[in-house]
């Protein structure tokens, strides 16, 4: 007994760029739905795996239907997909400095899931104090995935690249180790593998390297940095730092969707969040156009001093 109300039809304009994507997307969406139907048909539960269809939508399918070739259980994307990125998305991160208390769970999770065994973590929580009279605060800093990346501009061999979805990745099999990108980055975001990385967790594992999962494995004589976890995004999951933070400091999402989600699973409208909390970008004046927004450390949830216990000025990677 539904009340039938007139639905007004709003014609969607044609956008050339997304037209082919839409066609591919409908096909993929149908496939996705098809897979979904398959998955939900019977009553025994089986392990579900989230996969991203080629048009950037996430569906859940039986893990048995997906070929495993990657340490996360996903089939590696093609070189073109790696270089172009996930279509129709632009990934951004928001870091709420009002909530950071240097718990360092983000760093632990990043180090663990990227098998970081050097002396320099990719995600560091800085003890920041702009000047003598201003208040100190904790600032998580990682690769900003700039929209005008200085590192990509100076790479002579196209080993680091900027994708359509905003993510900047490194191809460790093409890098010649000149370290010009490290010299160019103003955020000190990159690290170098000065020797053969001692990644014990990867010993014996047959993992196919993909730039989308940096550090698996790390390559001697090349650079590494935060990758915004595309291997997690393709599974519909948030990056490790976001999901492991006990205080919901990080939010991550698609700027085109105007939505970011924190580790607890709560979503916010990005533009509204930045407007209400006066979000900014670090060293915006340099013109690199970073994709990471910071919310100022106002109305702090915790005292700065509480984080000093875990602060080690000379260590960011714990050795076993």
Q: Which of residues 265-284 bind other proteins (CB under 8 A)?
A: 265-269, 271-272, 283
DSSP state of 288: -
Binds other proteins (CB under 8 A): choice among 20, 65, 78, 188: 188
Interaction of residue 120 with other proteins, rule CB under 8 A: yes
Cβ nearer to other proteins, comparing 75 with 179: 179
Binds other proteins (CB under 8 A): choice among 70, 90, 114, 281: 90
Interaction of residue 304 with other proteins, rule CB under 8 A: no
Tell the smallest beta-carbon distance from residue 306 to other proteins (Å).
18
DSSP state of 156: T
Binds other proteins (CB under 8 A): choice among 115, 137, 138, 187: 187
Q: Is 278 left (phi over 0), alpha (psi -120 to 50) or beta?
A: left
Interaction of residue 31 with other proteins, rule CB under 8 A: no
Q: What share of the chain is helix, strand, coil (3-state, %, to 5)?
A: 25, 15, 55
> How many residues make contact with other proteins (CB under 8 A)?
104
DSSP state of 6: P
Interaction of residue 132 with other proteins, rule CB under 8 A: no
Cβ nearer to other proteins, comparing 283 with 298: 283
Binds other proteins (CB under 8 A): choice among 70, 114, 124, 213: 124
- Binding segment for other proteins among 92-100, 198-206, 246-254, 292-300 (CB under 8 A)? 246-254
Binds other proteins (CB under 8 A): choice among 59, 70, 71, 88: 88
Interaction of residue 318 with other proteins, rule CB under 8 A: no
Binds other proteins (CB under 8 A): choice among 70, 101, 105, 162: 162
Interaction of residue 310 with other proteins, rule CB under 8 A: no
Across the chain, how many H-helices and E-strands are there? 8, 13
- Binding segment for other proteins among 68-76, 113-121, 200-208, 293-301 (CB under 8 A)? 113-121
Binds other proteins (CB under 8 A): choice among 53, 71, 113, 193: 193
> What is the 3 state secondary structure string of 69-91?
CCCCCCCCCCHHHHHHCCCCCCE
Instruction: Report the alpha-carbon distance of residue 39 to residue 149 in Å, rounded.
Output: 42
The site string for other proteins over 199-238 (x = CB under 8 A, - otherwise) reads: ---------------------xxx-------------xxx
Interaction of residue 178 with other proteins, rule CB under 8 A: yes
CA separation, residue 162 to residues 148, 158, 167, 192, 233 (Å): 9, 10, 6, 19, 17
Instruction: Report the alpha-carbon distance of residue 137 to residue 87 in Å, rounded.
Output: 36
Instruction: Report the alpha-carbon distance of residue 112 to residue 202 in Å, rounded.
Output: 11
Binds other proteins (CB under 8 A): choice among 10, 203, 204, 303: 10
Residues 33-72 that bind other proteins (CB under 8 A): 40, 43-47, 55-56, 58
Tell the smallest beta-carbon distance from residue 68 to other proteins (Å).
15
The reply to whether omega before 226 is within 30° of 0 (cis) is: no
Neighbour tally for 258: CB within 10 Å: 13
CB 210 within 8 A of CB 307: no
Instruction: Report the alpha-carbon distance of residue 256 to residue 259 in Å, rounded.
Output: 8
Instruction: Report the alpha-carbon distance of residue 101 to residue 307 in Å, rounded.
Output: 5
């Amino acid at each position: 007994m539904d009340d039938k109300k007139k639905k007004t039809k709003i014609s969607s304009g044609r956008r050339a760029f997304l037209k082919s994507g839409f066609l591919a997307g409908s096909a993929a969406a149908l496939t996705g739905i098809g897979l979904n139907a398959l998955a939900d048909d019977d009553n025994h539960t089986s392990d579900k795996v989230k996969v991203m269809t080629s048009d950037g939508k996430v569906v859940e399918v039986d893990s048995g239907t997906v070929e495993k070739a990657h340490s996360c259980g996903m089939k590696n994307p093609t070189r073109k997909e790696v270089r172009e990125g996930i279509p129709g998305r632009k990934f951004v991160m928001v870091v709420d400095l009002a909530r950071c208390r240097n718990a360092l769970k983000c760093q632990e999770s990043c180090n663990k899931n990227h098998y970081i065994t050097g002396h320099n973590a990719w995600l560091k929580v800085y003890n920041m104090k702009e000047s003598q009279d201003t208040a100190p605060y904790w600032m998580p800093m990682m690769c900003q995935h700039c929209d005008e990346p200085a590192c990509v501009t100076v790479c002579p061999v196209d080993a680091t690249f900027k994708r359509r979805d905003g993510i900047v990745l490194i191809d460790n099999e093409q890098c010649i180790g000149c370290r010009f990108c490290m010299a160019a980055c103003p955020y000190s975001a990159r690290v170098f593998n000065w020797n053969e990385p001692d990644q014990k967790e990867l010993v014996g594992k047959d993992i196919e390297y993909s730039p989308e999962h940096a550090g698996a494995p790390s390559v001697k004589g090349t650079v590494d940095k935060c990758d915004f976890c595309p291997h997690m995004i393709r599974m519909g999951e948030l990056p490790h730092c976001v999901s492991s933070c006990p205080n919901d400091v990080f939010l991550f999402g698609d700027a085109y969707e105007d939505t970011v989600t924190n580790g607890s699973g709560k979503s916010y409208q990005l533009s509204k969040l930045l407007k209400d909390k006066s979000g900014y970008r670090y060293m915006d004046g340099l013109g690199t156009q970073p994709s990471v927004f910071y919310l100022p450390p106002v109305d702090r949830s915790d005292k700065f001093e509480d984080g000093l216990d875990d602060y080690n000025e000379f260590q960011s990677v714990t050795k076993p």
